[in-house]
Amino acid sequence: MPTRDEKQMTTKSEQTRQTHSGSSFDDFLESEEFQEEVDAFAVKRLLAWQLSEAMKEQQKTKKAMARELRTSRSQLDRLLDPQNTAVSLETITRAAGVLGKRVIFIIADTRTERARKVSPRRKLVSRAVPRAANSRRRFSRVAS
């Protein structure tokens, strides 16, 4: 049975949730003009993760992958680096092709907050990536 203090803590946290009214983090990013940079970072992080996972599934080493791409291992490391957003579409699609995958890009309209919360596409993509990579999902993913 919960103690009196635990009941008070629950009540206070419920009150905090109910009384919160303010803008979203996405609104903050847009107002500070960081949204595009954050979106690009999230896209690259997702692509790097998906390519790495495909390599693990196929037990393909970086050395073998670089050889099949006819590139250097350092170039492959840049491709797989989630923080390096300066990677060409050609490189991404070639890497996906070597892994027997293809890249699908979707350009979508900006939605309202309410529509964003119930989007089945976001839920689908959110389940496909690790928690740390979850961010706004208006971008591509590697498909089989």
| Domain segments of the chain as ranges | 33-143
What token pair was written down for 136?
């706004």
User: Which pLDDT does position 46 carry in this prediction?
Assistant: 94
User: Which pLDDT does position 131 carry in this prediction?
Assistant: 42
Say what angle helices 35-57 and 89-98 make with each other, to 10 degrees: 20
pLDDT in tens, the chain (144 residues): 666 666 555 555 555 555 555 677 667 766 767 778 888 888 999 999 999 999 999 999 999 999 999 999 999 999 999 999 889 999 999 999 999 999 998 888 876 554 555 445 544 444 444 444 444 444 445 554
Tell me the whole-structure pTM to 2 decimals: 0.58
User: Which pLDDT does position 105 carry in this prediction?
Assistant: 85
User: Which pLDDT does position 55 carry in this prediction?
Assistant: 97
For 33-143, CATH gives 1.10.260
What token pair was written down for 20?
């919160």
For residue 50, which of 108, 123, 120, 100 has the smallest C-alpha distance? 100
User: Which pLDDT does position 129 carry in this prediction?
Assistant: 44
What is the separation of C-alpha 46 from the centre of its chain, rounded to a whole number of angstroms? 4
